[in-house]
Amino acid sequence: MTKHTFLTGNRTYSFCLLLILGMGFAACTIHQSLDQRGEAVRLYRYQGLRDELIVDSAKLSAVTAKAGDRITREVTFALLSPQREKKFQVTEVVTLTGPSLAIELSKQESERLQGSHVSVIQVMVPKDLPPGIYTLITRIATEEQEITKKTNFQVLK
């Protein structure tokens, strides 16, 4: 896995590239604002009563694809705590499922600051994947909470 971080304007971007044997390629991106906690508190109307993991719905760049196409999955999530300096241990697992198929595409464990985060993963549809309905399952977990989001797409002939 290769990880690159750079700063531009008021946003920090981290990119990590994962090689998936037999499945093509996947890349994930995490976007983090410099005032991430304050933005997330306002956006999600956080009351500061307990630790919170909030996960918005996952989005796909396409609902249909052909073998060899790339599909991008994006999910936004927020981490908030009454303890302003708390950092979260976060595990994100992305799995591809379909007829007689379940493949873990990526697993990322990291320590995250409070605030909103955008996770982006690109998946290349394998050339030998049969037509059908497939699901990308994203599981995001902290020490205390776990949320799963599913997105479906169809592979055409």
**pTM of the predicted model, to two decimals?**
0.75
| pLDDT digit string, tens, across residues 17-51 | 333 334 444 444 444 444 788 888 988 899 988 99
- Position 40 scores a pLDDT of 87
- Position 12 scores a pLDDT of 34
| pLDDT digit string, tens, across residues 131-148 | 999 999 999 999 999 999
Strand locations in 21-156, DSSP E?
Answer: 24-33, 52-55, 59-60, 64-66, 70-80, 88-98, 101-112, 115-124, 132-141, 146-156
Domains observed in the chain: 2-156 (2.60.40.3880)
The type of residue at 78 is: A
Cβ density class 13-37: b for 16+ within 10 Å, e for less: eeebebebeebbebbbbbbbbeebb
